[in-house]
């Protein structure tokens, strides 16, 4: 089974952003290794999630309400995700569940590709939920609930 997704993002001051068509495989079932296409498919399924390339071609960035919750660099080593706080990020780094995310605040971690799909899915949902909770109540109310 394959998932067809169309991602659109906004580019400030340069007119409409490019549309990126992705014919990605369906997300990896429970277990197994998670890859970039799987992360893009999971992000695309989240309510209000928007794809953009604010850092240039090859950088997949996912936002909800104009706030980033997932970012993948052009090198494709993993996905940078927001944690609820610095202490959580530090704990995840110490236990080997992630690395310090380059270029991001200390509350962000980098989860390398090729790891456990369930853990990646969980961390992605925590990142999305953390960022979504920081949006205005009006914007939160306009988004559909996230399905588990």
Domain spans in the chain, listed from the N-terminal domain onward: 2-142
> What is d(CA 8, CA 77) in angstroms, rounded to the nearest whole number?
23
Q: Tell me if the pTM is above 0.85.
A: no
> What is d(CA 85, CA 143) in angstroms, rounded to the nearest whole number?
24
Closest CA to 98 of 87, 85, 112, 84: 112
Residue % of the chain over a pLDDT of 70: 78
Question: For residues 97 and 57, is the Cβ–Cβ distance under 8 A?
Answer: no
Tokens of 67: 């706030």
Domain 2-142 = CATH 3.40.50.1220 = no
> What is d(CA 50, CA 7) in angstroms, rounded to the nearest whole number?
7
Q: Quick check: 13 pLDDT over 60?
A: no
Which of 17-26, 55-64, 82-91 comes out lowest in average pLDDT? 17-26
Tokens of 135: 């949006």
């Amino acid at each position: 089974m394959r998932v067809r997704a169309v991602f659109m993002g906004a580019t400030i001051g340069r007119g409409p952003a490019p549309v990126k068509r992705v014919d990605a495989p369906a997300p990896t079932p429970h277990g197994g290794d998670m890859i970039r296409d799987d992360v893009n498919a999971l992000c695309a399924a989240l309510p209000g999630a928007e794809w953009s390339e604010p850092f240039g071609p090859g950088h997949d960035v996912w936002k909800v309400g104009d706030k980033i919750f997932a970012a993948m660099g052009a090198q494709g080593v993993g996905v940078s995700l927001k944690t609820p706080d610095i202490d959580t990020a530090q704990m995840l780094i110490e236990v080997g569940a992630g690395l310090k995310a380059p270029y991001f605040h200390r509350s962000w971690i980098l989860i390398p590709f090729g790891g456990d799909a369930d853990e990646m899915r969980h961390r992605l949902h925590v990142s999305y939920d953390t960022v979504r909770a920081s949006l205005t109540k009006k914007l939160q109310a306009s988004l559909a609930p996230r399905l588990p």
